[in-house]
Structures are given as C-alpha cells and as structure tokens.
Amino acid sequence: MSVSRFVARAARASTRITPVSSFTKPAVVSIARSFSSNNNKLSNADPLVVATEVPISSYEGGKVQRNTIAVTEVEQAHEVAVEEVPEKVVPLTRALYNQMPPHMQKMTLMDKVVVVTGGARGLGNFMARACVEAGAKAIIIFDANQELGDSSAHHLHQLTDNKIPIEFLQVDVRDENAINDAVKAVVDRHGAPDVLINSAGIADSNIPAETYDTVMFRRLIDINLTGSFLVSQAIGKSMIAANKPGSIVLVASMSGSIVNYPQEQSCYNASKAGVIQLGKSLGAEWAKYNIRVNCISPGYMDTALNNVPALDAQKVIWKSLTPQNRLGAVDDLNGLAVFLGSDASAFMTGSNVIIDGGYTLY
C-alpha cells in the first residue's frame, strides 16, 4: 500500500472516535505536509511570507484605481450550513436570452426539450428546475412514483407561473416497453428530446457482501445500471432517427470510483461503476451521431435517499471525511447538469465529473 493511501486510511480510521471539529488536526497533517529536504526553496528555514496589506489595481472605464486592503488574521474555519433552497423557478425568457453575449447563450438550454428520469424528487427534481431557468422549452419527467411524480410536475409548472409545459409519465426504468412507448409519446408531442438527465436510482447500504440477498442485488443493478441503459437507448434512438444532436447526462456516483466508508454497499458501488463505464462506451459509440454522453458523480448529498435515521451516525463520519465539511445540497448538481446539457460542453463526451465537496481527495 502506498504511503499516501496508508495515511488516508489512518485518517479515516481516526474518525471513528474523533469529533468532527478536531479531525483535520495533528498527526495526519504533519505527515502529509513534510517537505523533501532536497528542496532548499521550501526548506523550513525560510521566513514565513506575511503581508499586512494587499494592493489592488482596478481597471475600469480606461482608468486605473489603486487600493489596498488590510490583511486580517485568518479566521477559524467554520462549518458551512447547507442553505435552504428557495421555492422559486424563473424561466429564461427569449427577450433575456437575446440580450446575452454569445458565450452566455451557449451555456443555456434555450428551446431544448429535456427529459429527466427520477425527476419526481431529489436531485433530479432540482436539475429539472434548473433546466427551466436555463431556457428549456419543455420538461418531461419519467418516474416510477405516480403520486409524487404527478404532484411534482404540477408544482413545478406552478412555480414557473404556468409558463413552461411540464409533463410527468409514470415509467419504471426497468420496463423496456413502457420506456419505448413513453419516448414515442414525447417525440410525438415535442419532437426528439435534446437532453436526457438520467437521475432515477436507488441505494442499498450497510449490507455485507457475504450476506447480500441476490434478489436485492439484481434489483438494484436492474434499476441503476440496466435502467440507465434502457432509457439512454430509447432516447438515443429517437435522437438518431431525428438526426438531431443531443446530450445524455447519467447520474452515477463517486461510489463508482471509490469504496465508501464505513458502510458496506458493494452492489451500489458496482452499479455506479457500471454507469460510468456505460457513459464512456455510449459516448464513444454515439459521437458519430453527435450525441454526447457524460456522467455526474455526486458525493454524499442531503436528499431523501439519505434521510434515514439509521444513517445519522454515519453522516457525521461522511462529513468529517469531506473537506468542505458538509453534505451536498439538493441543488448542488444544477450548474453542472445545465452545462453538460448545453452547447457550452460541445467537446465533452465520455467524461465523469465528480462533485463531492472534495471527499475523493483524501
């Protein structure tokens, strides 16, 4: 095992008993930051660079203004609270879009039709809201939960002041026939979708591999991995048939790249590794059709998926192992989802972007 891995593991082990606030202190830091003695420039004998003020030159209207700010002592790091997400969705209007400079226009989803699976709640629902604000002309939610899906679609429509069509289709992502019929219905009404955000997924955790029920194992793979494939295939086919460029965004997880600690969840981790590799494969295969496929891999997010009392103790550990010392907010994927759906990411395909508050850095 490499030294850095050993150190990281030691750090993880120490969190079992160490309170959150003192986690980043002594033993680990002193090992990780020791400099090589061959590097004179970085030798410990050098005086510390400590400025008392910072000069600023501001160029505005052809003139320069020079200022300084006094340097204050570094404040103690504090925990950043996850902010309440405002209940407001403001659709991007054509008039506003027309005023945007070209680069900003590229970062929108103006006039695009967006399908979001798992959009009845959680991360999918908030990415759908962001797509409305980025100019999408219609949002179509595919979700297995009829009641929740219907009420979320209604709610989102109201939040847009009834301006943007929001549709909900009850689809289980394991059901190939239902998916194909649902996609056909979308194409008939809106034409082939421009963007798919595949967020439907489930998680099982705290199940040791040696006792994992194989029926549960197959079910999770069926939803998270096969479901991602089936929906991508159906939407991809509609894009190909319409000869239309498109963007598919698969919500994977950092668990597809690392093994979570301390909970045992081999199946979830394997399913998400599969989603990442699926995204790369589809990205390579469908580049010839001008269809891009990328993955978002979130770290621990503060959603209903994790809102289980049995996970409370583990959340303390998850936070302590996350440099930003928080779980992700439910809207923390929004910016990336819009970017990946937009033409601003035109040269990106097969990528897997991790958004985890730094968790995978350790």
**Residues interacting with ligand NAD, by CB under 6 A?**
117-118, 120-124, 143-145, 172-174, 199-203, 223, 227, 251, 253, 298, 300-301, 303-306
The residue among 138 and 295 lying less far from ligand NAD, judged by its C-beta, is 295
In the complex, the smallest distance separating the C-beta of residue 334 from ligand NAD, rounded to whole angstroms, is 12
Long-range pairs of 185-192 with CB within 8 A, sequence gap ≥ 24: 186/113, 186/115, 186/140, 186/238, 187/238, 187/242, 190/113, 190/137, 190/138, 190/140, 191/113, 191/242, 191/244, 192/113, 192/235, 192/238, 192/239, 192/241, 192/242, 192/244, 192/246
Active-site annotation holder among 112, 255, 271, 272: 272
In the complex, the smallest distance separating the C-beta of residue 270 from ligand NAD, rounded to whole angstroms, is 13
The residue among 89 and 197 lying less far from ligand NAD, judged by its C-beta, is 197
195-198 and 246-251 beta bridge pairing:
parallel
Tokens 């986690």 sit on residue: 23
Whole-Å CA distances, 293 to 81, 223, 275: 33, 19, 11
Active-site annotation holder among 253, 255, 271, 297: 253
The residue among 92 and 196 lying less far from ligand NAD, judged by its C-beta, is 196
Active-site annotation holder among 205, 268, 271, 359: 268
The residue among 110 and 276 lying less far from ligand NAD, judged by its C-beta, is 276
The residue among 31 and 221 lying less far from ligand NAD, judged by its C-beta, is 221
Contact 235, 193 (CB under 8 A): yes
Per DSSP, helices labelled H in the chain are 3-14, 26-32, 94-99, 102-106, 122-133, 146-159, 176-190, 214-221, 227-241, 266-286, 312-320, 334-341
Residue 268 designated active-site: yes
The residue among 110 and 153 lying less far from ligand NAD, judged by its C-beta, is 153
Beta bridge partners of 294: 249
Single out the residue of 274, 337, 292 nearest to residue 124, CA to CA: 337
Per DSSP, helices labelled H in 15-145 are 26-32, 94-99, 102-106, 122-133
Residue 289 designated active-site: no
Beta bridge partners of 291: 246
Tokens of 362: 């350790």
Residue 199 designated active-site: no
In the complex, the smallest distance separating the C-beta of residue 281 from ligand NAD, rounded to whole angstroms, is 18
Active site residues: 253, 268, 272
